[in-house]
Copies of this chain bind each other. A is one copy, B any other.
Amino acid sequence: MAEGVEILCVGTELLLGDILNGNARWIAQELAALGLPHYRQTVVGDNTSRLIAAVQEAADRSRFLVTTGGLGPTPDDLTTEALAEAFDTPLVERPELWEEIERRLSAGGRSVAASNRRQALLPVGADVLPNPVGSAPGMIWSPRPGFTILTFPGVPSEMKAMWQATAAPWFQDNGGSRGAFRSRVLRFTGVGESTLAEQVADLIDSPNPTVAPYAALGDVTLRVTARADNAEAAVALLDPMEQELRRRTGQQCYGVDGDSLAGVVLELLRSAGETVAVAESCTGGGLGAALTAVPGASDVFGGGVIAYSNRIKASILGVPVAALEAHGAVSDPVVIAMAEAVRERFVCDWGIAISGVAGPDGGSPEKPVGLVHLAVAGPDGTEAAAQRFGDRRGRAAIQQLSVIRALDRLRLRLLART
């Protein structure tokens, strides 16, 4: 039997890549929060026959279809007419809609064009889905038993206002959702997606809560999603799964949901009453930028030195020229000197230093592109190590991974102490 909700976004601007499909994402989030199953999204252009084909296919697959776009007054706004044609249903003018459109346009000081009259047409049997903030109303229409269409304009602010005022309550009453869904994202670093997935392989097969891995650069997440009769019961299912995942993965899990690695590090420092400064070469300020991306960083983050050239490493940070000459800028002795110098000169409890070969040029057989040395100097001494990120992912990735690994080294030092 047909089930679930599909989203159909109509607009040639989407097919040309002029805009991101933020509407599909927003509606998808709303459907997830309502616990409504959602299996497919489609985008078509402003073309009647392709629009009709997409709607008829959706009618055979799904219980509800949410459309965005194509409700305006211009000739390329085709959605309502195409839907009526798809189900051989005549359009009729709704006098109350026409009055409302007239009223709104003249209140806005705009003249009423004949083309606006088209917006008062709806298929016979459709209910109006009111638009509280714009001139393009939508509809809620069941052209055949067990299949209902809800239409929205493409303007995000209008679509969202209509959704919240009418569609969300309507889905709560009519969506047939079985229970409530709640999810939580666990965030990991220092572990690859496949290794993490193997550590928790049996839990990934779990039916409820489900566990799904997802990987981004330097960061892997596990999304835990629980379904239950109500929200409290769903949350109660999340907690033991989170505990089990944390038990297996230990300190690789650095946070949940919106946590950032920099934010977690700042919070650990804050609760210890400690401060940090940075000395950056190949990241050029990226580590400082990551720390100051977090609001309220100023009580913990003092600042730092961007020592991009060797001259600056020596003159501003006092790295011994002998060390630079003997070991090169990308070496443990140099990052140790940088971390200790910035810690001392900025009068902070911790100093982090990064020096590496970000590429694409500047690599050598001994010091290839992707080689980065990191040091963390603290109250209990200084530790340094090399990381090899390889030369394939490019300069931006090497810089970003250097920042992530540097933050994580400090995180692990702080955790090891407690």
Contact = CB atoms under 8 A, between A and B. Distances in A.
Interface in A246-298: 278, 280, 282-289, 291-293, 295-298
Which secondary structure dominates where chain A touches chain B? mixed
A72 B132 contact: no
A13 interface: yes
A390 interface: yes
A347 B393 CA distance: 34
Given A75-B204, A303-B312, A397-B157, A15 B38 contact: yes
A28 B15 contact: yes
Nearest to A115: B194
Contacts of A388: 107-109
Nearest to A346: B312
A205 B75 CA distance: 9
B28 A14 contact: yes
Contact of A39 (B25, B47, B306): B47
Given A287-B285, A345-B316, A390 B108 contact: yes
B74 A197 contact: yes
Nearest to A76: B212
Contacts of A205: 75
Contacts of A24: 14, 17, 21, 43
A399 interface: yes
A284 B283 CA distance: 13
A316 B303 contact: yes
Nearest to A37: B15
Contacts of A45: 39
A51 to B, nearest CB: 10
A38 B109 CA distance: 39
A360 interface: yes
Interface in A1-43: 12-22, 24-32, 38-43
Given A17-B26, A21-B25, A302-B309, A346 B282 contact: no
B76 A213 contact: yes
A43 B44 contact: no
Interface stretch (A214-222, A233-241, A318-326): A214-222
Given A16-B32, A285-B289, A297-B284, A110 B316 contact: no
A214 B18 contact: yes
A50 interface: yes
A27 B298 CA distance: 41
Can you list the 7 inter-chain pairs with the closest CB atoms, starting with the nearest?
A284-B292, A285-B288, A285-B285, A17-B28, A17-B29, A41-B43, A73-B194
Interface of A: 12-22, 24-32, 38-47, 50, 54, 57, 72-76, 104, 107-111, 113-116, 132-134, 155, 157, 161, 183, 192-195, 197-198, 201, 204-205, 212-217, 223, 278, 280, 282-289, 291-293, 295-298, 301-309, 311-312, 315-316, 345-347, 358-361, 387-390, 392-397, 399
